[in-house]
Structure formats: structure tokens, C-alpha cells
Amino acid sequence: MFFTGVYTALVTPFAADGSVDFEKLAELVEFNIAGGVAGLVPVGTTGESPTLRTDEHLQVIKAVTDAAAGRCKIVAGTGANSTAEAVELTEAVKAFGVDGTLQVTPYYNKPNNSGLIQHFSAVADLGVPVVLYNVPGRSAKEIPLDVVAELAQHEHIVSVKEAAGSVQRVTDIKNLCDIEVLSGDDSLALPMIKAGALGVISVASNIMPSEVVALVAAALAGNYDEAQALHDTYAKTFDDLFIDTNPIPIKAAMAMKGMIQEVYRLPMCSTTDENKAALRATLERAGIL
């Protein structure tokens, strides 16, 4: 197995002036490793990749890789809607010694099936294990099941992050081909693991890594009653961390806990006071704050 367990989709902490706060970033790496995560995913959706310059993008991935120092796996977000850019970023992080890359479906330009296959294959040809990232709500394009099955034949395309909100997709993928699946939603981690997924790329683990690790470990061990009890305890937290567009709520929650400053880059901005109050109440009830 390439990637199993909990992988934190890391936020990118910013200082008050909007620059990347690398000191806080290193602290987040330590917090997650102490919480027992299997890996970290820097500069994905939760890491606000669209608003990072290319140099910052690579600096964040290198900083996370260096801080982790081999203590957990690193799956670097190097996807793009330009194949040339995805290849360029992947070539750069390959030199950092990452364990894999997360490749989002090319967004906005909506390639056809042949384009998807050529795009992902070009990145995988570089030799770094690829996690496909199926997130039609962001990319406006689902990776069709037959495309997943064809891509699974590539020796370096090893997993798919399913963030389409469909547990059935896990079953369908496992019936079609031999590729690992990771849930892209904390709220669906348990049912997806029951369907054959091997873990989750988690937003919630930014603030509660040990709790998500315990849930996923129980589920992977087949201790479904224990996993269900943990899921029930944190289900409202999982939901409210998406009370607004990700990563706005998770950064707000982390700021409430004093982990980071609540700073975004436009067009991302703070949520409403009402949403913050609801989120705080949920976190307090769950014992996170």
C-alpha cells in the first residue's frame, strides 16, 4: 500500500502582512506528527494553492518536507490546469524527496477523456507516485470511472482522492480496477473505508489530528462500533468546518485555538460573525476548544 491512514491537507498560515508564516508552518507540521498522522498534503485546496506564487508554492512544500524530516509521508499538491505547469512543479518537488503528488483534475478548461489521460500520464511519467484528485465541485469536471480504470494501469498512478461526495464511487472504482482510494471528506471517511478506501485526506486533522487518526485507525481495523462512536462525536465538527468555503472555517477554527492568525489572501476572506459563533459553539461542545 502506498498511502493509508490520515493525511492532513495542511493550511498555509499567513502573517499579518500576508506573507507565508514559515515558523507557524513548522509548528503545524510538529502538531500533526505528534497527533499521529500518516502524512501531510501541503498546498492543496486547503493550502490556498490558487493564491500562492510559484516560488511560494515550492517553498511551502520544501519547508514541510524538511520539517517532517522523514517522520511521515509528504504528498505535495502540484496539480494545475496546465499540464506543463503540473509537470514543472512535480519535477521541482521530486528533488525535495516527496513521497507522492496530488494531482487535481484540470479545472476551468474541462478537458475531454483523452486530455485527462494524457495530462495525468505526463505527470506520472516523471516517476513520483500520483494521487488523482477527483473534486468536480471545484474543477467542474469529474474524472469518469473508465478514465480512472485506464489511468490505474500506469505504474505511478497509485491512488485517487474521492471528494465528489459519493460513497458509491469507491465501490465502483474498486470493482473496476486495482487502485487505492482515499476519502476527500472527513464526514465520509468511515463509510468510504467500509466501502474499501484506505484513509482520508483530512481538513479536520489540521485542528484535531489525534481524534481523526483514532477514528480512521478503528475503521481500518474493522472496529466499526468504535469508529462510529467517534464519527458521531465529531460529525457536527466535520460539517461545520465547511460552514463556508474551505479553508475559511478551518483557518477560523485554528485562529480560535491560537494556532495561527486568521489571514487569507483575496478572493478568500473571513466568514460572517454568525458562522464563527456557530463554529465556536460546535468546537466547544466537541472539546476541541
Distance of CA 171 to the CA centre of its chain: 21
| Nearest CA among 56, 215, 269, 194 for reference residue 202 | 215
pLDDT at 58: 98
> Which phi and psi (to 5°) does residue 48 adopt?
55, 40
Assess whether pLDDT exceeds 80 at residue 266. Answer: yes
The whole-angstrom distance between residue 134's C-alpha and the CA centroid of its chain comes to: 11
Q: What is the pLDDT of residue 140?
A: 86
Which pTM value belongs to this model? 0.97
* 63 in Cβ contact with 27 (< 8 Å): no
* Position 245 pLDDT exceeds 90: yes
Q: What's the rounded mean pLDDT across residues 46-72?
A: 97
Which region holds residue 109: left if phi is over 0, alpha if psi is between -120 and 50, else beta? alpha
Residue 80: which H helix or E strand, with range?
A: none
Residue 15's pLDDT is what? 98
Q: How far apart are CA 90 and CA 98, in angstroms?
A: 10
- The one-letter amino acid at 165: G
pLDDT tier, 16 (very low <50, low <70, confident <90, very high otherwise) = very high
Is 47 a residue whose pLDDT tops 80? yes
Alpha-helical (H) ranges within 134-267 are 136-139, 145-151, 167-176, 189-194, 209-220, 224-240, 248-256
Full DSSP string of 87-137: HHHHHHHHTTT-SEEEEEPPPSS---HHHHHHHHHHHHTTSS-EEEEE-HH
Is 117 annotated for ligand binding?
Answer: no
Tell me the per-residue pLDDT of 113-151, one tens digit each, with 9 for 90 and over: 999 999 999 999 999 999 999 998 888 899 999 999 999
- Is residue 234 among the annotated active site residues? no
pLDDT digits (tens, 9 = 90+) for 66-108: 999 999 999 999 999 999 999 999 999 999 999 999 999 999 9
Strand, helix or coil for residue 47: coil
pLDDT mean across residues, the chain: 97
Class of domain 5-223: alpha beta
- Residue 133 is among the residues annotated as catalytic for this protein: yes
Ligand-binding annotation for 207, yes or no, is no
Give the three cell numbers for residue 109.
Answer: 478548461
pLDDT at 56 over 80: yes
Q: What is the pLDDT of residue 118?
A: 98
Q: What is the pLDDT of residue 48?
A: 96
Helix (H, G, I), strand (E, B) or coil at 140: coil
Q: Which of 24, 73, 141, 161 is catalytic?
A: 161
Confidence at residue 104, expressed as pLDDT on a 0 to 100 scale: 97
206: pLDDT strictly greater than 90: yes
Percentage of the chain beyond pLDDT 90 is 98
Say yes or no to pLDDT of 1 above 80: no
Predicted pLDDT at 139: 87
Domain boundaries, the chain: 5-223
From 7, 133, 234, 264, the catalytic residue: 133
The pLDDT of residue 138 is 87
DSSP state of 242: T
Q: Is the pLDDT of residue 205 over 80?
A: yes
